[in-house]
């Protein structure tokens, strides 16, 4: 199996792991911890569990309060997820694939919530001395954010290796001896 194919399989497995971990944490909040009924659980001086129903997208924007708006938002996020899968299958480098996998797994977790409940379950409430640097979020949101940051950092600071045929190195003169990019 080629290295890019292995990287893609790893990416799909990572996306599945993020999805399962996200759904497990949400199951814990809804089931055993009964967070919806309790509303809030104090844990640490800087981290609590607080039940929040996010009916919009990031930062609660574009709230989908009607059934039609909910399904339109589902269709849009589903289309974005499809684009991410296609992008991930075209990538060769593990760093890019892993970042896309984080975004995909998180997006699928939030899509499932929206389909099942009509909203995304958020519960992670991080604060520092009473200041909340983030809105209340979930594991899927964290994975999406980390994936996007990795993609941005890689796009801005990583030098792209040239594909064979686009440069002047030995691999470009003899494509049979080209090195795979990781």
Active site residues: 122, 141
Phi, psi of 140 (to 5 degrees): -60, -45
Rounded CA-CA distance 118/70 in Å is: 7
Let me know the angle formed at the C-alpha of 90 by 110 and 104, rounded to the nearest 5 degrees. 10
Is the distance from CB of 59 to CB of 120 less than 8 angstroms? no
Is the distance from CB of 110 to CB of 120 less than 8 angstroms? yes
Q: Give CA torsion, residues 105, 111, 113, 117, to 10 deg.
A: -170
Name the E strands within the chain.
40-44, 47-54, 120-126
107 closest CA partner among 90, 91, 134, 84: 84
For the record, the structure tokens of 13 come out as: 């497995």
Is the distance from CB of 93 to CB of 182 less than 8 angstroms? yes
């Amino acid at each position: 199996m080629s290295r890019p194919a292995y990287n893609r399989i790893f990416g799909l497995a990572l996306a599945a792991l993020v999805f399962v971990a996200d759904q497990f944490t949400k199951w814990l909040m809804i089931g055993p911890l009964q967070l919806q009924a309790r509303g809030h659980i104090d844990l640490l001086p800087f981290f609590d569990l607080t039940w929040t129903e996010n009916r919009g997208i990031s930062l609660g924007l574009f709230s989908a309060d009607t059934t039609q708006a909910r399904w339109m938002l589902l269709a849009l996020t589903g289309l974005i997820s499809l684009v991410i899968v296609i992008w991930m299958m075209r990538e060769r480098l593990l760093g890019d694939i892993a970042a896309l996998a984080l975004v995909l797994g998180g997006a699928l977790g939030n899509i499932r919530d929206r389909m099942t409940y009509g909203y995304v379950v958020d519960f992670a409430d991080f604060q520092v001395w009473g200041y909340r640097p983030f809105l209340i979020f979930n594991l899927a949101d964290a994975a999406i954010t980390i994936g996007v940051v990795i993609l941005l950092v890689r796009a801005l600071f990583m030098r792209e290796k040239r594909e064979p045929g686009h440069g002047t190195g030995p691999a470009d003169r003899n494509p049979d001896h080209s090195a795979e990019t990781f």
